[in-house]
A and B are shown apart, each in its own frame.
Chain A
Amino acid sequence: MTARFHLGIGLDGAGWHPAAWREAGARPTELLDLAYWVDLVQIAQAAGVDLVTFEDAFGLQSSGFGGVDDRRDEVRGRLDALLLATAVAPHTSRIGLVPTVTTTHTEPFHVGTATATLDYVSEGWGGWRVQVSGRAHEALHVGRRSIPPLDPAAVAAGTDPAQTALLEQLFGEAADTVEVARRLWDSWEDDAVIRDVPTGRFIDRDKLHYIDFSGDHFTVKGPSITPRPPQGQPVVYVLAHQKVPYELATRSADIVGITPRDDAHLSQILTELADAAATVDRTAPDPLRVWTEAVVLIEDSTAAATAALARLDKAHGSTYTSDTVILAGTAATVAAQLLDWHARGIHGVRLRPARLPADLVHIVDEVIPVLAEAGVLDRPADADSLRARLELGRPANRYATTDADAAPTDSVASTSPADLAHHDLIGSARS
């Protein structure tokens, strides 16, 4: 059997190119309307996309990494991603909904119950893209913590000890937040509600558990106010670009999104991920899935795609750059790249449409059929949750006191061929 290749779509505003909102098909006046987002997610769902993500931040959008700029030619204004995803949920039934939720200034208890509630409203299709806020001006939104300005170049180079220390602090806090959420999700056993009339008890209190988390940034007592969500553990996605975030991902995530520029970079990233996995104690359920990320812009010919990108860049007044590869070409060339990643053992991809809805429609109408033809999109026919769709299994409850709960209710299937470079990553992550 050919291993499956999973597909995610990253949704943000009118698309990832900052001038996308000016395209003829764009709907820039509807970006705060639920109906717009429902339309996009339903397009993805109908094509069998496994999950969509919703971008967010702990502040207003800005073109740079510094404070909020005064540009008026880019999309500004954004809905809280978790609330948006939860409002989309009643309109969908079989696609993962993965909002971005910041860990730096938020309350871990609220994050835990909110993500659990998304899982309830979506009936088992909830996830969470973990994000830190390293922006100094966003710290001023809360006003109790001073974050020095991050220098992305110094962070990437790893040359400034102060910047590295800050990064470790932010991602350490993120790891603690994920740990708190995971413990809160498990803090009710699945059969805690008993409704036992003779004894007058609604719950079996022995099946609710204090999580007693204590870390450098906060303590949380628990248990959750929200019972264990349908998936047991909603899917945690971590986008990562270097060592410190790789450690967060290998410790805490179900899926890590990586951003290879080319094949050599991909090999390097997989090695670094394996190194990270070897240094952390993994606390997430196995396995860890590795997805690549790409911005996509699709036209009928390479020349037309190049021209479209040039048109957008001209409208914006600068050449678009991204933290990941930009695939501007035909559906065939995009599909070929995805199949190549699949052949290298990558488990899935998060595609970021340069223009919405245009490039989402191109992906759905032109790329997905090629992947289906190649036989990499077969899905479990009866998948009734995001974890089931991704064959991640339903994790056992860490607090379970009975045999029925202690055993996983689903087997965990790994789709990674044994001979791949990153197999060791997954192996070591398991230990």
Chain B
Amino acid sequence: MKSWLTTTDHKRIGLLYFWTAFGFFLIGGLEAMIIRAQLIKPDGGLGVSAETFNQLFTMHGTTMVFLALMPLSAAFFNFIIPLQIGARDVAFPRLNAFSYWVFLLGGLFINVSFIAGPLFGADRLSVAPDAGWFGYANLTSRQFSPGPNVDFWLLGLQILGIASLAAGFNFIVTILNMRAPGMRMLRLPPFTWMALVTQFLIITAFPVITVALVLLMFDRFFGTHFFVPQGGGDPILWQHLFWMFGHPEVYILILPAMGIISEVLPTFAKKPLFGYTVVVYSGVVIAFLGWSVWSHHMFSTGLGPIADSVFAGTTMLIAIPTGVKIFNWIGTLWGGQIRFTTAMLFALGFIAMFVIGGLSGVSHASAPSDLQQTDTYYVVAHIHYVLFGGTILGLFAGMYYWWPKMTGRLLSESLGKVHFWLTIIGMNLAFFPMHFSGLLGMPRRIYTYSSGLGVTTFNQVSTIGAFLVGLATLVFFWNLLRTRWQPVTAPSNPWGGSTLEWAIPSPPPVYNFTVIPTVASRMPLWKTERHAPMAALPERPPAPIHVPGGSWWPMITAFGLPILAIGAISRTLPIVFVGVAVVLVGIYRWAFEPFEM
């Protein structure tokens, strides 16, 4: 127990990230199930009130984006990146532990709002955030949202931002500076490359939302008018700041999954990644363009024809590097010896579903058509094809691919295939009809609809599909748990992968590599035209290896942040001071504790 609380081992932190994020994924999924059950018939199938419904869709979006998808990617960054680059750990192991604890506590802080009502004198149990996951001004002002709901949201997201930023600095340095000899930048595995691009997006995008949240905090706590029209403030500024973060965030969510796909497809097609360099550069181009498109979320605010045209153009441009990647993945499959393992099925599912989401995305890029689609279920269909059909299918591919490496145990392939088919059928039943209900005029975020709207059947199909996805997720959960109860031991390289993580035992020993390997090619474990496979590493370390010990201070410092937030939300200055003191003491003890790398 103590060793897990104080751990600075990137593999253990990776597993902590995985289980925590998977827990939040189940909570976010449960919220989705309630939403869909409510919408199964006109006038509400579950009797959920409008207030509760607002909380459910807000928390579903916030949870899935910040507490499930990002940290599930982070689980793989933590576990896999040091192994792929031939390192013993990340550059700053204690900072890494800090990121995890801040993420866990920030996630708990937001979710506590579900039962915190009585503490705030509310007449209901739940005071969860209820202004939507992008919290548009001036709905979030004290005037229109008087309760603590939005405060939980804005304080929680600031805490989570600290976790992401700290991890971002850590992984940039790890990837650039901790590579094994011979691991040049253009020999990095594509997953690590996409992770690097993602970290640059994180450290540039998160400060922007931090500023937006701080300004909102000043509006709500101290009575400023940054987003309040009565005082001259402009609610549209919130949209600019939010989407300046929000659009890079979309690529923060999808690029890691694209990286996973670029590992899985070559392994199971037994061919090198087609056009590796172009795939890498396309990822970089996507990130750059991702910074120039934010206003396509705001066409309906009336930006004017020049701005509309520019942002429509830049948005359509992104289809080019994305298309390049898709054709390269297909090129990888072409003529390969394909093995349809579960990981491979999810990777193929990613390509197909992401293309659908990408196409509806291009249809938003056109400002006139976007005006028809804004705030309808068509947008909900799009976001779920890219974030579920894209990111989550990609993450599932990664789970089946790397689970044996992470735990030393194989997941059941037959249960995996049940999981895959239930997921793919369920998600298409759930999300495809939303294109139609949206174009027929069904607005997003309504808690009931009337039978005369003509969207009843579409909604019923969507609900059935959503429950199939829920069932599929339970199958997957069962599959995970089964590896504990009925373990099937995994060899070091069960899939015949080409990258360094497969050169060491499953699960890897605490020091990862007995000797740091020297890398001579992009696929060190495969025979290529010019290179023989890397020689096997010795089974025992020839010299003693120093492994850094654990530390309490990252976790203790992290605890200061929710204490600070509790002080702020309850307007209790002494608690704020306690939070500051905990952070200060934590940082000083951390800085001065003997910790040898």
Partners in one complex: no
Residues of A within 8 A of B (CB): none
B interface vs A, CB < 8 Å?
none
